[in-house]
Amino acid sequence: MRVLSAMSGGVDSSVATARLIAAGHQVTGVHLALSRTPLAQRVGSRGCCSLADVHDARRVADKLDIDFYVWDFSDRFADDVIGDFLAEYAAGRTPNPCLRCNERIKFAALLEKGIALGYDAVATGHYARLLEGFDGLELWRSRDPGKDQSYVLGVLDQYQLQHSLFPLGDSLKSEVREEAAGLGLAVASKPDSTDICFIPDGNTAGFLAEKLGDAPGEIVDEQGHHLGEHQGTFRYTIGQRKGLNLGIPAVDGRPRYVTGLDPESRQVVVGPAEDLAVDELRGIRPTWTGEVRDQPWRGKVQVRAHGEPRDAWIGMDQGEIVMRLDEGYRGVAPGQYAICYDGDKVIGSSVISSAVRTRAKAA
């Protein structure tokens, strides 16, 4: 099989590439140039697209004796990922750029180009498993629960899964590092990437302020009482506690959290922790890894990459996925992705459009 291996310059994609070669595939390494942000070029970046990462990926490719290319997807990345990121925050939602990148770049733009050039599949170093099922390939959680990345792959459809390979799905992270060391790869002890690649200094609020500009408004409680001021609703997300700088303390002395955002009126609404609890989610832009499930079914819902999944009734209503949780979540923000599971198998995904509480508060 001719395989295009996406090499980020980290240990995971490097070992994934080595395994593909050992399995007898004809492998070509490719590094995606996604961001032209100057800070991303610094050696100390903890993102996945720095100049140092390009050099690391090339050295691994040389060590493995395979062809290696750098493909520039920065224009499409700017439109589909960074542009979406800015638009979502400006609208008072909280996006996940890593899922958006998987959805639009790694398993769309890259796969499209790879297929056009005669490759059979795209491989990455994600920790997830692909298993044969009755109706095609199924996406399952990885063997290593601490590294499982099925959540960020939940946006893939059956066609994309049919042309994807995840060689690390049955491995523990410790095993991958040991294997890299045994192969003599210099990235064996390289730290995992932690930052948003186009915000390598980790200052998301500063990045948004630079791109969107100040939009001053007021911070209010749920009764509309003025508590403070802010420089833009995009600086906040549902569930946030730090950085509110409220001039008027709560009467009961308890901490307050962001419970609502209204970019049109430029208001940030705050309230007590119990106001963050929700038990019903609605999701738009549904994507199914296989057959559509349009009848109510029991499953699990996960709303963060390393969040605890919740048992739920899941169904469809006017093209949206409705998820009624047995046990509620706290601090769910519109714009986040909800991934639906049947046990450890990914069934589908959607972008959360609303999160509400249908059950009464505890007394």
Q: Please tell me the distance from the alpha carbon of residue 160 to that of residue 334, in angstroms, as a whole number.
A: 26
The one catalytic residue among 48, 49, 98, 197: 197
197 catalytically annotated:
yes
CA atoms within 13 A on the CB side of 69: 9
Q: 3-class SS at 218? A: strand
49 catalytically annotated:
no
Could you tell me how far CA 119 lies from the centroid of its own chain?
Answer: 26
Q: Please tell me the distance from the alpha carbon of residue 348 to that of residue 321, in angstroms, as a whole number.
A: 10
Which tokens is 24 given? 């007898």
Which tokens is 185 given? 């790869």
Contact 100, 140 (CB under 8 A): no
Q: 3-class SS at 308? A: coil
Q: Is 90 exposed, middle or buried (0-12, 13-18, 19+ CB in 10 A)?
A: middle
Q: Which residue is associated with the tokens 């970046």?
A: 45
Contact 15, 168 (CB under 8 A): yes
The one catalytic residue among 48, 98, 101, 340: 101
Strand order in the sheet with 26-33: 68-72, 26-33, 2-6, 121-123, 164-165
Which amino acid belongs to residue 158? Q
Angle at 307 between CA 13 and CA 126, to 5 degrees: 10
Q: DSSP states of 59-107 as a string?
A: HHHHHHT--EEEEE-HHHHIIIIIHHHHHHHHTT----HHHHHIIIIII
Contact 348, 286 (CB under 8 A): yes
| Residues paired with 262 in a beta bridge | 267
The residues assigned a catalytic role are 101, 197
